[in-house]
Amino acid sequence: VISELTGTIIKGNRLALARLLTEVENDTPSGRAGLNDLFTQTGKAHLVGITGAMGVGKSSLVNHLAQVFRKPSVEYPASRVAIVAVDPSSPFARGAFLGDRVRMRDLSGDPGIFIRSMAARGALGGLAHATAGLTQVLDAAGYDVILIETVGAGQAEVEIARLAHTTIVVEAPGMGDDIQASKAGILEVADILVINKADMNGIENAERVLHAMLELAQPVQHKGYHAAKAQIGEGADTPLWRTPVIRAIASKGDGAVDIVDAIRKHGEYLKDTGEWISRDHERLQAELDDLIQTTLVDRWKNDLPSGRYVQALGDLFLRRISPHQAVEQLFL
């Protein structure tokens, strides 16, 4: 049963969509009801995570990607594109708002593009959870491609990257040597690697370092096709994704066509190998397990006579009881 509100959203009412996104972001009862309502319509969009340190030019790149996705090509019709900009490091959406102004200038007026910013609120888990909700609403609203842009390269970004079907890591040469070329954790999850600012000095060096880092982070994919096959114990028929390294100059839009091409190829690869479905299931199960855990802890805390947790904690701090004994005491 689709309610009136969600019906108008599916029909393309942008104001209704913006309102529901706010409700979902704040995790209100009507936000949850809207999500429940729309959920049957999800599962079609290609979720693309774009991450990288501040200053590598992600926002500008994302704008150009959106514009390329909007143009029909010989092989592909125009896609409807939603952009979700997430800033986990900022308690308010400074960077994102700044980026939005540039975006409005470049992308506004196109009904096939929808832009949404989100800043850090509460816990890490909370942010990933809210982002999951937003992408579900946008997916149901009929956006074919959802570009999820995050600032920084910490744990929060890796968590958000795990939401995506395709994860793009953006790097840039220079900026205090290879400081940007860090993020051991996030390179492991990169499906596409972009070196932006390819007109800057040090591009060859950056490219060399990134190839070496990719080899460290993704040894199987980067040892060459046959060695990799042997290592994962698969036959020669199963295709294997080898993370491409693509040069770009986002300020001019250079490289955007190649990146969009790689995103589409990766989407096809995921569908051909069944990974599209397995990533989808992993994502949904992780979300369910997370909600179960939160619900259990919340209910338990509500039921516990007030003061008992603090009492146990105090005994623990004084080392009168061990952590296990504290749990036994609380679950008596």
Q: How many helices (H) and strands (E) does the chain have?
A: 15, 7
Report the residue from 21, 53, 62, 113 that binds a copy of itself according to the rule CB under 8 A.
53
Shortest approach of a copy of itself to residue 269 CB, angstroms?
21
- Per CB under 8 A, the segment of 11-19, 80-88, 113-121, 310-318 that binds a copy of itself is 310-318
> Residues 129-150, buried b or exposed e (16+ Cβ, 10 A)?
bbbbbbbbbbbbbbbbbbbbbb
Q: Residue 32 interacts with a copy of itself (CB under 8 A)?
A: yes
What is the spatial distance between Cα 150 and Cα 57, in angstroms, rounded to a whole number? 12
Report the residue from 251, 291, 308, 311 that binds a copy of itself according to the rule CB under 8 A.
291
By CB under 8 A, the residues from 222 to 281 that bind a copy of itself are: 280-281
Shortest approach of a copy of itself to residue 293 CB, angstroms?
6
Count the helix, strand and coil residues of the chain and give each as a percent rounded to the nearest 5.
55, 15, 35
Q: Residue 327 interacts with a copy of itself (CB under 8 A)?
A: yes
Shortest approach of a copy of itself to residue 9 CB, angstroms?
15
Q: Residue 293 interacts with a copy of itself (CB under 8 A)?
A: yes
Q: Residue 183 interacts with a copy of itself (CB under 8 A)?
A: yes
Q: Residue 163 interacts with a copy of itself (CB under 8 A)?
A: no
- Residue whose C-alpha is closest to residue 86's, from 33, 38, 148: 148
Report the residue from 26, 108, 251, 295 that binds a copy of itself according to the rule CB under 8 A.
295
Assess contact for 83 and 62: CB atoms under 8 A: yes
- Residue whose C-alpha is closest to residue 162's, from 193, 128, 194, 138: 128
| Residue number, 49 or 173, with CB nearest to a copy of itself | 173
Assess contact for 138 and 114: CB atoms under 8 A: yes
Class of residue 322 by CB neighbours under 10 A (exposed 0-12, middle 13-18, buried 19+): exposed
Q: Which residue type does 201 have?
A: N
Report the residue from 40, 231, 251, 311 that binds a copy of itself according to the rule CB under 8 A.
40
Shortest approach of a copy of itself to residue 40 CB, angstroms?
5
Taking each helix axis from N to C terminus, what angle separates 275-303 and 256-273, rounded to the nearest 10 degrees? 80
| Residue number, 112 or 154, with CB nearest to a copy of itself | 154
Torsion of CA 34, 35, 38, 42, to 10 degrees: 160
Report the residue from 155, 231, 238, 311 that binds a copy of itself according to the rule CB under 8 A.
155
Shortest approach of a copy of itself to residue 104 CB, angstroms?
30
Binding residues (CB under 8 A) for a copy of itself: these are 32, 35-36, 39-40, 42-43, 53, 152-155, 158, 176-179, 181-185, 205, 209, 212-213, 216, 280-281, 284-285, 287-288, 291-293, 295-297, 300, 312-313, 316-317, 319-327, 330-331
